Amino acid sequence: MAKTRSTYRCGECGAEGPQWTGRCSACGAWNTIVEERVAPPSASATTSRPTSVAMPIAEVEGAGWEPRPTGIGELDRVLGGGLVAGSVTLLGGEPGIGKSTLLLQALSSLAGGGARCLLACGEESAQQVRLRASRLGALEPRLFLVAETELPAILAHASTVVPDVLVVDSIQTVHDPELASAPGSVAQVRECAHRLVRAAKDSAMATVLVGHVTKDGNLAGPRVLEHVVDTVLSFEGERHHALRLLRAVKHRFGPTSELGLFEMTDAGLEGVPDPGRLFLSDRQASAAGSVVVPTLEGHRPLLVELQALVARSPLNMPRRSAQGLDAGRMAMVSAVLEERVGVTLVAADVYALAVGGVRVIEPGADLALALALTSSVTGTPLPADLVVCGELGLCGELRQVGQMGRRLAEAARLGFRRAVVPASAPDGPPGLEVLRASTLVEAIARAGLVLGAKPVGFPRAVPA
Ligand code: TYD
Ligand code: MG
């Protein structure tokens, strides 16, 4: 009889090796390798005949795979209409971001619309979930609840309830006592996910798995999960802000470019269908250092205020702080300002942020950041009706960014009248004057900032 053999697997990335090591050679994580026992394949597995029949693609039945709307508009937008029967979706996000709340609201809405729903919660007791459900008004008769962590029990409940939609919160708490490996190990999570995927396909129930995410944004432990499921959604946001962003990282049934926007309120998550003025409501347009940039999140233009504050630093190593912005791009923009424009920042503390808890990391925000810094250094506010968009090159030249027309149209819709853009940008919509510039120096002038003949900024003090 063939022997059971051991393999060694990394708990972080799922890489497999022949022996135990202290550090995973694939992802570099320490102390993550665990032993897994692998049963030999049965003799019949290799010789069995297929039970399925290959058929021409046009004859494969395609009905029944239309998405079922969840009734949560922003979620449906990201899913491309709703949940597809038999599909498996993984919802990832940091603890406390609102994954359980979002799914409870979605299930309640689905159940209210006639779907049978089953929520298997392993993280909270049934009482806790019920308490939250009554606060959210989610006490629907077709919404069933089990507090279970054992996979066979969850699957047994699923075959009695026969739900249209099953939610497992979270996949990391699910385990199968028949498997040799420890609960929470990669082998457990992966095997349980495989079985849930099989159950979803066999009984055509749409399944949503909740997955935890580590600090650096990866799904905790098993990246392997991402390959098994049809859709991976990522729920993001700053914990101290109410704004939450939902994106599809992988989607077998639709585009991955849509963005869903929610606000966390006392009554759960509320969709933000028109985010137009969301980030601009408290803006002090007359303050130096404030610039509005039309960014693009997926297909959605968002107008975001960037702020910069440049102040003389008492420190030998001045502070550089970039919140919601890419620190590397800020360093690049500062260097270009210094070398190509002559705005010196070496002895200054520089603070920059994207207002409202949103992350603006696209290169299209370079020019806006450069103008915000210049505006702060010179103490001159930019015109209140001005938006700024463009990528900055290392030679101080401005470069075109994608979908400029869409960005400018949104700016015009929200009442902006002028836009500083790269020279190659297309014309704007009626009512929006396009101010073209081919270099950063030109853009600074077109935005109405005057640098003058004297050196600008905060050079290092020369010792007396
Ligand atoms: P939760 O859905 O439990 O997050 P996750 O499942 O991702 O860990 O929600 C966490 C936070 O949301 C919690 O700290 C409180 C807050 N919250 C509200 O602000 N309003 C509400 O109506 C609810 C239900 C939660
Ligand atoms: Mg939760």
Q: What is the pLDDT of residues 188-221, one digit of tens each?
A: 888 899 999 999 999 999 999 999 876 665 655 5
Residue 147 alpha carbon to ligand 2 centre in Å: 13
Mean pLDDT of the chain: 88
Per the listing, tokens 């101290």 go with 240
DSSP strands (E only) in 124-280: 143-146, 165-169, 206-212, 231-236, 243-251, 259-265, 268-271
Pocket of ligand 1 from Cβ distances under 6 Å: 93, 95-101, 132, 136, 264, 266-268
Tokens of 16: 């497999």
DSSP 461: P
Atom 8, ligand 1: which residue's CA is nearest? 96
Residues flanking ion ligand 2, Cβ below 5 Å: 100
Q: What is the pLDDT of residue 5?
A: 77
pLDDT band at 464 (very low <50, low <70, confident <90, very high): low
The CA–CA distances, whole Å, from 131 to 101, 116, 125 equal: 12, 20, 10
Percent of the chain with pLDDT over 90: 61
Centroid of ligand 1 to alpha carbon of 96 (angstroms): 6
**DSSP H or E segment with residue 353:** strand 348-354
d(CA 401, CA 421): 9
Ligand 1 centroid distance, CA of 268 (Å): 7
C-alpha distances out from residue 276 to 68, 142, 303, Å: 28, 37, 7
What is residue 342's predicted lDDT score, i.e. its pLDDT? 92
Measured from the Cα of 169, ligand 1's closest atom is 6
Q: Of all protein residues, whose CA lies closest to atom 10 belonging to ligand 1?
A: 96
Q: What is the pTM of this model?
A: 0.79
Pairing outcome for strands 143-146 and 33-38 = unpaired
Residues 268-313 pLDDT 10s: 999 988 777 777 878 888 899 999 999 988 778 899 999 999 999 9
- The string of pLDDT tens digits covering residues 158-189 is 999 999 999 999 898 899 988 877 777 777 88
Q: What is the pLDDT of residue 297?
A: 81
Integer Cα distance of 449 and 361 in angstroms:
25
Contacts of 33 (CB under 8 A, 6+ apart): 8, 9, 10, 11, 17, 20, 21, 22, 24
**Please, which pLDDT band fits residue 16 given cuts at 50, 70 and 90?**
confident
What is the 255 CA–ligand 1 centroid distance (Å)?
Answer: 28
Instruction: Please tell me the distance from the alpha carbon of residue 191 to that of residue 175, in angstroms, as a whole number.
Output: 9
Q: How far is the CA of 97 from the centre of ligand 1 (A)?
A: 6
